[in-house]
Structure 1
């Protein structure tokens, strides 16, 4: 009996232990359903020790994650956080500050710049950042062409031994010192170095990856690349050895592509994403009225425009281009689609840029005058054309399709039959750059706060086939823009840029539409997000409460 009692008691204790173990396992399984890597996890970790994951909803996918190969803001939105530049811009302006270079010195003649580099910086692949790495990057860029590296040619006048190429040599004069020698002075040279395309890449990774480097980028930035699911999401994660102490604050950032404006807003309202750009002006009041959200205004430094490819008939005739300018009711477009958060454009540069020519009288909305100009051009009955409408919202144009429809209606009033066409974003840019569009909607957010970055980059003959999608060329304009680049006296530069805008106004390769104040929105838990006027936002200081 005694043995049986002992056995029964032991058996009961065993059953109780098994039951407790099973209960604990069930509790653990239940709690696990709230974790994981789903892109809807907004990472609101508080003090729980969980990962801080910020999900950034955007209107389109990146074209490449190798910043030197692209010109689009969606690519730079990601690469800004993977790569550092030699020089930084201010937190919300384009004043230059130290970056990978801690100091710089310019010779009096403006032909030599010596940069002192930051020590102890590592690339994500474990290799060291030093002067040789800087030289390797510039040798790679200078050895390319406009198809490979469009921004390099646009900002530094060409490649290799080409006459217009500004940079004569880049030399490592010490382990952490680099000397740039220029063929001629370039006033915005240091500001150019701060631009997103010139993020410094790991030479080791570039050599290993070759043409596929844009699919697996390696820089020195606050975040390392993890994964890219095309047309869906890009994931980056915290670089533990980043050279700025206590940054980044976030463990991961997921950039989600949500092309539809309403779907992106709904994702924000439901908490699926933490930040959203491309907020339409009409939704601004909704954001401001929700205590769980906050509205951000990006400092305005952009222009949205209708470009006309001047090598295609009938846009090879300036009378036709002037007619297009008179035919489009820009004020109505701003009123209908920007809700007071934009101003009508008359020049290719925004008023905040030094050298803006406010004395120019914009083309008035005047359909009668437009018809007269078409008649003078031998087109009294109008003509047929294709009008490219952007497939994604952009800061300078929140809804390209609706703007295209408004333009289509305006053009019909003067006998021009515009068929609206569109393509996936990367294809759209490629076709426009190749001169395949009759006319196309596009825009530009300034990269460095200098007039050169608008007028020379977008409308000079040196940049045909890269950023000059209109294929417009004018030798007198070119001479003015090169003179303005070379001139170091700011007043003289401004006068040259004002003259340049008069030429562009008369030749009319664009219909400048609007300078917008782009809107973004985020959850109330997003801390220290500061939208940058260039459109490239560094997220290293951003946190989640």
Structure 2
């Protein structure tokens, strides 16, 4: 399909009917995405798919520099931290406008009321909006922000102060993450008055460079340029379109035909061909991620350490690395990538040993032919290019030690929801770091507070929890690192997960794409991106 056909399809939907055809085509940027978001109220969700869908719509007080992990000002132009490290005062950006969209027209610019509303809704279970539209906020809870933030108060029309119960060394990084997107308090009031509070999830209003135009589940998301964006240099296309397709081979075909200009998560087997295409470019970098197997430690028999140890040592990781990652992965022995500061280089894997695994299972009283469910992701993720194949290989590995694994899957949003509810036995998942801090791995994924959100192993260990909480409350990096190393050792000993691989990130795009930067945090940010002739 050429640009003219793409423009024609857009015209048929009535979105670009007033633009000349050539002009319309030159102002569209199409991103081949892999899945449908669960919604646009991003504080409710944790997956990369959801974050990608929300990214064009919102801003945070602080944000990550494009292509990096450094925190820069966004809706807050500057901030101060009190001497005791417990109070953060943010000075807000003047003249920022919320979208006029979905029949809502703001009567004022962004101000301190919007920041207070955004965080109070997450903090206060009795908040009027939360009572009208009940929601859970997994990131907010898994990082213990719901317990540590004691107050968010407006200290001036354009000034907000956060008071913490204890020092949080990662606080500025944490609120740069997607879940902390600032919402409109005025829009929330409007939705309450009209009896439609759930529209905040389906008809979002933000301050971002693009506003939502249309969403068709499993087909497309269409965004229109925000002509009033506070940084006009970041809005360079008229229409941003996410073309949703779960099949990576189809996404690659669309890219090569210029039906999309950027695609997500190519199969390793396609990379050689993509590199040779003169119309394309492929940006590659070491992945800040880990793909892992999580055992539901709240379910028998995975509540027994010898069972988890047996399953772990029965996994032929090298075979999986060769077949699933095809040269684009690095063997993982730890719960976070080697590029993360505080990574413990002394940790080693248990050797691949099916015979020993079988002995451990027999000693634990596990009968030959015991059935378990193995959940495999329905979508390709940066940390796992082919979950179905990985599940089939694990099924064969565990069959050798007498465990019969039945592979199950669900649509991605349903999959994530059911895992949070603890319905699985064993699940394939992974993580791409969000903010450059060790707590985003060791606290967010394995703390007791993260059960019901990001802790797929449903694992809670008091000693481990004390270590990561103490580390988060310190500001000295070496002191923090020592505690995190102890936590990593304990995590390895207790085997709530089996780390499998760190995947190299390969980002294919049209050679005409200008301004797109691959994020180590797995964020796909289209602000400032355009197409050049």
TM-score by length of 1: 0.89
Distance in 2 between residues matched to 1:51 and 1:217, nearest whole Å: 27
Q: Which residue of 2 aligns with 1:447?
A: 434
1:311 offset after TM fit, Å?
A: 1.1
Tell me if the contact between 1:52 and 1:251 (Cα under 8 Å) persists in the aligned partners: yes
Q: Is the 8 A contact 1:337 1:399 kept in 2?
A: yes
Instruction: Indicate the RMSD between aligned Cα atoms, in angstroms.
Output: 2.2
User: In structure 1, which of residues 151, 164, 171 is the aligned counterpart of residue 153 of structure 2?
Assistant: 171
Change (3 A) 1:442 1:179: same
**What secondary structure sits across from 2:234 in the alignment?**
coil
Q: Secondary structure at the match of 2:422?
A: coil
Residue of 139, 148, 157 corresponding to 2:136: 148
Question: Deviations 1:488-517 (Å, cap 9, x if unpaired)?
Answer: 111010000000011111110101111111
**Which residue in the other structure is 1:26 paired with?**
none
Structure 2 distance, partners of 1:460, 1:38, is 50
Q: Secondary structure at the match of 2:182?
A: coil
- What SS class does the counterpart of residue 468 from structure 1 fall into? coil
Q: 1:73 aligns with which of 33, 45, 48?
A: 48
Q: Secondary structure at the match of 1:180?
A: strand
Shift of 1:172: 1.2
Give 1:381 deviation, angstroms: 2.2
TM-score (norm 2): 0.91
TM alignment of 1:139-538, pairs within 5 A: 139-144=120-125, 148-158=136-146, 165-207=147-189, 208=191, 209-297=196-284, 299-379=286-366, 381=368, 383-538=370-525
Conserved? CA contact 1:77–1:535, under 8 Å: no
Aligned to 2:103: none
For 2:353 and 2:207, how far apart are their aligned partners in 1? Answer: 53
1:120 Cα deviation from its structure 2 partner: 0.6
**Alignment partner, residue 132 of structure 1:** 113
* Other structure's SS at 2:388 match: helix
CA displacement at 1:265 relative to structure 2: 1.2
1:346/1:363 contact within 8 Å kept: no
Per-residue deviation, 1:518: 2.2
2:26–2:531 contact (8 Å) kept in structure 1? no
Listed one character per residue, the Cα deviations across residues 218-264 of structure 1 (whole Å, up to 9, x for unaligned) are 11000001111011111111000111132210111111111111111
Give the gaps of 5 or more residues in structure 2: 101-105
3-state SS of paired residue (1:152) = helix
Structure-2 separation of matches of 1:420 and 1:408: 8
The Cα of 1:541 is off from its aligned counterpart by 0.8
SS of the aligned residue for 1:187 comes to: coil
How far apart, in 2, do the equivalents of 1:237 and 1:51 lie? Answer: 14
Q: Which region of structure 1 is more displaced relative to structure 2, 255-264 or 123-132?
A: 123-132
Q: Does 1:116 align with 2:104?
A: no
Going from structure 1 to structure 2, the CA distance change for 1:149 and 1:277 (only over 3 Å counts) comes to same
The number of residues matched between the two structures is: 507
What CA distance in whole angstroms lies between the structure 2 residues aligned with 1:170 and 1:93? 28
Q: CA deviation at 1:48?
A: 4.8
Higher mean displacement: 311-320 or 264-273: 264-273
Instruction: Write the distance in 2 (CA, Å) between the matches of 1:267 and 1:47.
Output: 20
Q: Which residue of 2 aligns with 1:55?
A: 30
The runs of 4+ residues in structure 1 deviating greater than 3 Å are 31-36, 38-41, 45-51, 144-147
> Could you tell me how far 1:101 is from its partner in structure 2?
0.7
Partner of 1:24: none
What is the CA–CA distance in structure 2 between the aligned matches of 1:448 and 1:148, rounded to whole Å?
21
- Whether the 8 Å CA contact 1:40–1:272 is kept in 2: the answer is no
Equivalent pair of 2:291/2:430 in contact (CA under 8 Å) = yes
* Counterpart secondary structure, 2:213: strand
SS in 1 for 2:398: helix
Q: Which moved more, 1:519-528 or 1:95-104?
A: 519-528
Q: Report the Cα offset of residue 439 of structure 1.
A: 0.3
Offset at residue 298 of structure 1 (A):
5.2
